[in-house]
Chain A
Amino acid sequence: MMPRVYHIDVHDLVRLASLKNVDSMSEPRERIMLPTPSTSHVPYERVYEPAEDSFLFLDTLSSESEKIFLQDYFNQPREGSTSKNSSTPLVVEIGTGSGVVLSFLHAHAKNILGRPDILTAGVDVNRFACKATTETLRAAELVQDIKGWSHGFYLGNILGDLTGFLKPGQVDLLIFNPPYVPTPELPQLPHKEAKTTTTYEDDSYLLSLSYAGGLDGMETTNRLLQSLPKILSCSRGCAYILLCAQNKPEKVREQIQSWGSGWAVETAGTIGKQGGWEKLQILRIWRTH
């Protein structure tokens, strides 16, 4: 997929700096003005390249309806809190790849979530993806800094499998663009240190981790779904998860509805409507207090 019109390359920063009088402008309010983070430094031979699923996340998270939901959800004081402000949300993306989605949220936290004081962290099973995410995030942060605009506070990226190492009940907003393609089998997770140099086979293996989803393309997504009640914050936990048509999205929704009255699920964004089926959709799953 072609980069967006508002794609800004790190090399353009010098030129951007000369435009510094844009300082007097307020932070952008429309999606059309929110720049897509630059990912030109990412080694695409072994890290998933931003594609239509990634861009569906950017468009969904910055849509008017999701902004209204998120700003309301994350600006209410938490139960039992005496302060007027609610505490800082922790935003975690699982499977960051290039880091384009996490960096977008990080850079445009104020526009999307209505507050710049968010903590952001990324998780990936691919060490190269972890490194790439950190670079993408720093570049996006720099663009905001040069314009005198706000951004979140980045904790770092962790090499790991889903959420097993996160303290329960801490994640307020979780983003997951899973390996959703149905495949005869699921590749084994890496369990030793990635080498600094890779062969063609190593690269193919690392890329397969980003798309191969096993049975119905749901083997990894199901594991993540099962961990949500434990991982998401009890007072304001919310997750955005992408599904493709072969993942049987209706069954997924039914599964979440069976969790009980404390949960809700809605389709937040879709792309590629064909004969009544959306090719890709993003579900918003959240605690209703």
Chain B
Amino acid sequence: MKLLTLNFLTCAVKACKSSSDSFPLHPKECELVSDTIPPNPQLIQNVLPRLDWRALSTTASELGFPTLPENAPTLEELQKDEKMMAELHTLLLETSVSEGMLVCGNCGHEYRIKEGIANFLLPNHLV
């Protein structure tokens, strides 16, 4: 599962829907895999406007990546900044989570990731 997926995932527990602490989920004891992917600046440019940058920054720093700037670069800034483009390429396109857990900051529920597949099936008492 690509690290980028975390930008679209939230806690599945109903009671957490109204809490801002349920997004993003926090990686715990995660094993990361890096795939080599050919440069794709067009994809990064088109993904950027739809990202929740703050959530991405949180995820990146929790996984030990270099700290991202406070605000997302604009398209013009990104086109001039090769280093930022390379960092985002690694972070968004090349990095996957293969094993570990995603933890809700509100209820503390842990979603297990096994063989790159995150398990969001809830135990009966939480459905």
- Which residues of A pack against B, CB within 8 Å? 78, 81, 83, 85-88, 90, 117, 119, 121, 125, 127, 130-131, 134, 153-161, 164-167, 170, 189-193
Contact = CB atoms under 8 A, between A and B. Distances in A.
A101 to B, nearest CB: 19
Contacts of B52: 167
Contacts of A189: 121, 127
A83 B46 CA distance: 9
21 contacts: A83-B49, A87-B49, A88-B46, A90-B50, A117-B42, A117-B46, A121-B5, A125-B121, A156-B1, A157-B1, A158-B118, A158-B120, A160-B119, A161-B121, A164-B120, A165-B9, A165-B12, A189-B127, A191-B127, A192-B123, A193-B112
Contact of A158 (B1, B40, B43): B1
A83 B77 CA distance: 13
Q: Report the interface size class on chain B.
A: 35 or more
Could you tell me the dominant secondary structure of chain A's interface residues? loop
B93 interface: yes
Interface of B: 1-2, 4-5, 7-12, 14, 23, 40, 42-43, 45-50, 52, 75, 93, 96, 111-112, 114-124, 127
Given A121-B5, A156-B96, A167-B8, A87 B50 contact: yes
Given A121-B8, A153-B2, A158-B120, 4 more contacts: A85-B45, A156-B2, A164-B14, A165-B10
Given A87-B46, A88-B47, A117-B46, A156 B120 contact: no
B93 A167 contact: no
Contacts of B23: 167
Which 4 pairs show the lowest CB-CB distances between chains A and B?
Answer: A160-B120, A156-B1, A165-B12, A87-B50
B5 A156 contact: yes
Nearest to B5: A155
B30 to A, nearest CB: 14
A167 B47 contact: no
A161 B117 contact: no
A97 B42 CA distance: 31
Contact of B121 (A78, A86, A190): A190
Contact of A191 (B10, B14, B116, B124): B124
